[in-house]
Amino acid sequence: MPLARTVSFGLSRNHAGANLDAWPGLISAALAAGLGSPVEVALTEDYDQLLASVLGSGVDIAWLPPLLHARAAEQGARLVALPQRDGWLTFRSALLVRKDDPVTSPGALRGVRVAWRDRNSASGYLFPRIELASRGAPPEKAFSSEKFYGSVVEAAQAVVSNAADLCTCWVSETAARDPARAMAEIEKARRTGWWSARGSTIRSARSSPPRCSRCTPRPPAAARWRRSGRPSASRR
């Protein structure tokens, strides 16, 4: 049953990245079609502000990365939807260096400057860091510095401009088993504007959980995705 008011949907500016102009409209339109009520996007500056909005009931629904999802769940927020890519609920994080970098394997990384996305990002920080340590590149040996740039765009540009040596970019689960496809997906991301120069992939990190749409602790309604990817309305 449609609501008598507009539903607020929380999204981080860092999360949207180069898609900031397009994503809010696309997502709000899909949610509105499923809920039968108008949806207004509430943009926050970063993941911390997004989590605060969820826990403070500043938004009705939010798109959260896995780590924030876990923290929100502890406070009573409820999972209502998961994204699906090529039939998978998980995805990978590719580790990228400049094309002229001689490093071709994680174990060879020593003294590199790392450009991470956000401390709350699974694919842009936590999972790649864990994977590197398991592949012979623990932070104390492999990194000379670590800096958080807030978004995939800024982290990639740091590598391009030689302010950093390593960054990450998400790729599909299927691409993790197909290096050519991984490079094609990264190239597609580059063409959309988030990276202005070519890079090389040295490793696909372990699977990351999906980003989640999560309701605030007391949501007015929820949206869930069928396997087809289309939203449909449901109530608590």
The reported pLDDT for the residue numbered 26 is 84
With tokens 């174990």, the residue in question is: 107
- Is 171 within a domain? yes
The reported pLDDT for the residue numbered 132 is 92
Q: How far from chain centre, in Å, is Cα 104?
A: 25
Q: Do 57 and 155 reside in the same domain of the chain?
A: no
Please, what is the Cα angle at 165 between 134 and 46, to 5 degrees?
85
- Is 133 within a domain? yes
**Residue range(s) defining the domain that contains residue 40:** 7-84+210-234
- Is 2 within a domain? no
Q: Is 111 exposed, middle or buried (0-12, 13-18, 19+ CB in 10 A)?
A: exposed
- Is 1 within a domain? no
Neighbours of 202 (CB within 10 A): 19
What contacts 24+ positions apart, CB below 8 Å, involve 126-131?
126/67, 127/93, 127/205, 127/206, 127/207, 127/208, 128/93, 128/95, 128/168, 128/205, 130/205, 130/206, 131/93, 131/106, 131/203, 131/205, 131/206
* 94 within 8 A of 201, measured Cβ to Cβ: yes
Q: Determine the residue type at 121.
A: S
- Is 38 within a domain? yes
Q: Can you list the residues of the chain whose pLDDT is less than 50? A: 193-199, 201-206, 210-236
Q: Do 79 and 140 reside in the same domain of the chain?
A: no
DSSP element (H, E) containing 205: none
- Is 32 within a domain? yes
- Is 224 within a domain? yes
**DSSP, res 172:** E
* 155 within 8 A of 233, measured Cβ to Cβ: no
Can you tell me the distance from the alpha carbon of 68 to that of 217, in angstroms, rounded to the nearest whole number? 14
Report how many domains make up the chain.
2
CATH of the domain at 219: 3.40.190.10
Model pTM score:
0.70
